[in-house]
Structure 1
């Protein structure tokens, strides 16, 4: 009866830890894509004199394509793209049909970023003159709410499985007294294996609707086939195979019939390392500025967490209640050293990885990601204090003769650690500052692209890059009915009245009959005024002005 109560208490504790972590992760927003579109050619909103032969999209990290998820719509709503788009690293190239008509084109895209998140959106460009843009059939950035809610739950089931496998297996292998039954710990380990396998299968299923932006049950066999054929699918299949092989080798250990096979132990170690590596290989570390370092650090972080938290569960649930004083005097000092090494590895890997993702001390305070890192650090300090108290109890040998205080300290460690893991789950859902900065940079493109209209002409003006320093001014002249208008002579001046900068004459070079380029150095930020005079004959000319903010 007492044994049953203890077993129920252990599983209740494990369930409570998982539930607390899921509660913390639950309110988080759906996982944000960490790749962003940083530039395009043609640029978003630009007006071109002639139809381009292709469109190039450049992202902040490498991307993978999905069948049928990139299209270019002509002004009349027909498809303007031809053939299959190609991806080379972070650049995606879309071929266009020749002879495109005048007006505004819509480029709609949805790709998979290096960290497995879908990236969707659209841009427009115009040929000749702007018009009402066509409308895509479906939002390119859509994510089903149910799918978005299930993804962090599946991830957390996998983390819980790691905790219930790695820590208990190490304790059973190296610290478990022979006289004690292994039934309870074995059930814990089999539960962990089931959680890892179940979460992996769930992740494979969820990746299909997540990637293509459909509902949970709107997935077709071809969509699942695409997932299985992707890098993400290959890594997840490796995880499933590795965990199944490890489960087969663990049976003798869990039943207490294992021999002295060092080969099996070595194979289990290799399988454990391979399984741990599959987590960072399907997440954000692969998109890090130093992916090799980040993958290793993330695997170390997971391993240290699993050893520490899983060992605490074994200590609290089985060893402290069951082992006698002599056994505890032998076990606790060894476990104390394990915990110290695990915590050191956890802190080291977490700090270095945070520095990689954050990039600056300012982002540590200014970004949601950085503030969560600070919260996580504060919690780890609290756990470290409790762990130091536990180590003091072990060093004084008081825990072996009266383990009550140590059990309470271990329970406190478990409780605070569960909150730490919950914060980590929220961190997975938030773009790190390096991604947020890339998105902000892309959003803050200061290039000026305007159309000004007079009685006899329409003038498209582009100032690139739209910041202080050297700038190029592109001019395109059209008739009021959007036909190219030949210009005999161009004159441009740039002035900043607010700072008493008089008009600066801009040298102009004619490129075609209706296209000219001028180069000017704008020394000061502010609201600049550009005056353009276009002479179309010996007696006809028009002068148009526009203002633009130069950053």
Structure 2
């Protein structure tokens, strides 16, 4: 009964989280392009610019190129980030270029350190009116086999190292039947885990270079490209810190092993602190670091990874370290009580780790997944959904092991512990993939339409269509208590401001199109998220009114 109630509560909490407007994108998304997609210009622009919803990194990997229909460059090759607006990239265009179809080919490194690129078509002169419109598109990096290998080495290494330390300090500490074979196996696994982490981090530098520069592996080791990657403020600085921490961890591990005791906190406190430091650095490279809620997202990301490593590490110790105590015994004659004692001691820690994983996963999902449909319609959502399913399978296996530990069965633990650990590694690799996939944008929310009553009893209706990033139509209608158009409005202005990012306020006048109705068009909503729209009216009697509306602005489909 209690399990059913708990399950229903968790489902409700998950649905509430998915529907709550706390979303923030991690990869950069275009909020405004000049020229806009398929815009027809009467003459050639002197400058083209693209503005994003977050700060973009200054790097030689970034580019902004303008091409004509034949593929010839017509920009001045001076692409740069605007000094006054770090979210905008711009470039000059050659003068006197002929009428015709053109396209802006852009590539930037977003705040989370991941590259994203795309194309925006536009036209110059009347010739473009008879041309077939092209569709703008944006693409990001899709993880491949090389990243699977790199992340698999890294997270398996973390799991192995934490698992051995946790097993010896916590699970076996109360067991006086120490085994030199267990200690020998622990030493081997510790060094193998450090080797895996080191190889992964070394491999990560040319891998990130390959991704950023969009080159083959044969060119990813060029010193100039590697140097440019290291100069990136996000990835480069963190990578150097990681290599220093791995070197210190190797020395600290050697010293701790020389001291000869795997059950002494005093011997292993420094290695534990260093491996925790490595896990923290991982949280500073990825979506969490780029989130506008990074003060919450980064700790959640670290706790998620640490709890997963602890859970998998504990399973590792039980499945692969304990069996060496019975290597000389026949399988059916082994004393399996050691296993079940270990499982019993591990169970509270496992349940705590599962709770942390579940909670941090829910919190993170509210930042990066705007709706439930995003779980099934985007690559990010599909991998997240697969991760959730595998996590549920791991939880079921954990319950099975907990029940078996309570029953103290004499038979062996079987292969299920190894299966649980293997699934856990897959889950962690999927989590690593998520850090390199574009997060789903807020979908189109549909037109905004709301009516409010003023202090004098008049009714004011504000409509915004399509209520999406880019060009919108703003329509204001005023009626009196009898439903008749208000005739004494001298001037009407709107002031828009984002609630998700400090971008200042923009005020614009809305001219009258008929009695009691005002309308204008403009690109005043330039990023997804929550916006405040203040309507200010001035009557011919010099009386004025102010009223605020709040709208959730989505992206264009």
Give the TM-score taking structure 1 as reference length.
0.64
Report 1:288-303 matches (<5 A): 288-303=291-306
> Who is 1:350 aligned against?
361
Report 1:203-222 matches (<5 A): 203-219=204-220, 220-222=222-224
CA distance in 1, matches of 2:141, 2:434: 21
Report 1:362-381 matches (<5 A): 362-364=373-375, 366-367=377-378, 369-381=380-392
Aligned-pair distance for 1:519?
A: 7.7
Aligned-pair distance for 1:296?
A: 1.3
Distance 1:353 1:74, change over 3 A: closer
Report 1:68-107 matches (<5 A): 69-73=62-66, 77-82=73-78, 84-86=80-82, 91-96=87-92, 99-103=95-99, 105-107=102-104
> Who is 2:21 aligned against?
none
Aligned-pair distance for 1:40?
A: 1.0
Partner SS state of residue 465, structure 1: strand
Tell me if 1:390 matches 2:391: no
CA distance in 2, matches of 1:329, 1:148: 40
> Who is 2:289 aligned against?
286
User: Contact 2:81–2:87 (CA<8 Å) still a contact in 1?
Assistant: no
> Who is 2:48 aligned against?
55
* Cα deviation code 1:81-112 (max 9, x no counterpart): 54744466762232526855453554322111
CA distance in 1, matches of 2:84, 2:164: 44
User: Contact 2:26–2:368 (CA<8 Å) still a contact in 1?
Assistant: no
Partner SS state of residue 214, structure 1: coil
Tell me if 1:411 matches 2:418: yes
Distance 1:425 1:40, change over 3 A: same
Partner SS state of residue 180, structure 2: coil
> Who is 1:196 aligned against?
197
Distance 1:100 1:172, change over 3 A: farther
Aligned-pair distance for 1:73?
A: 3.7
CA distance in 1, matches of 2:512, 2:119: 31
> Who is 1:123 aligned against?
120
Aligned-pair distance for 1:438?
A: 8.5
User: Contact 2:259–2:267 (CA<8 Å) still a contact in 1?
Assistant: no
> Who is 1:158 aligned against?
154
Q: 2:59 aligns with which of 53, 60, 66?
A: 66
Q: Which runs of 5+ in 2 are unaligned?
A: 1-24, 130-136, 327-334, 448-464, 477-509, 520-555
Aligned-pair distance for 1:226?
A: 0.6
> Who is 2:310 aligned against?
307
Report 1:152-551 matches (<5 A): 152-176=148-172, 178-181=178-181, 182-219=183-220, 220-230=222-232, 231-254=234-257, 257-258=260-261, 265-320=268-323, 322=325, 331-364=342-375, 366-367=377-378, 369-396=380-407, 398=408, 402=410, 404=412, 406-421=413-428, 423-424=430-431, 427-428=434-435, 430-433=437-440, 435=441, 437=443, 465=471, 469=475
Aligned-pair distance for 1:325?
A: 7.0
Distance 1:409 1:289, change over 3 A: same
Distance 1:276 1:408, change over 3 A: same
CA distance in 2, matches of 1:423, 1:50: 49
User: How many residues were matched structurally?
Assistant: 418
* Cα deviation code 1:410-433 (max 9, x no counterpart): 234234434544554554564333
> Who is 1:502 aligned against?
none
CA distance in 2, matches of 1:144, 1:215: 14
Partner SS state of residue 337, structure 1: helix
Aligned-pair distance for 1:285?
A: 1.8
CA distance in 2, matches of 1:310, 1:386: 15
User: Contact 2:79–2:89 (CA<8 Å) still a contact in 1?
Assistant: no
Aligned-pair distance for 1:205?
A: 0.5
User: Contact 1:144–1:214 (CA<8 Å) still a contact in 2?
Assistant: no
Over aligned residue pairs, what C-alpha RMSD do you find?
Answer: 4.2
Aligned-pair distance for 1:33?
A: 9.3
Aligned-pair distance for 1:211?
A: 0.7
Partner SS state of residue 38, structure 2: coil
User: Contact 1:107–1:124 (CA<8 Å) still a contact in 2?
Assistant: yes
Partner SS state of residue 243, structure 2: helix
Distance 1:440 1:428, change over 3 A: farther
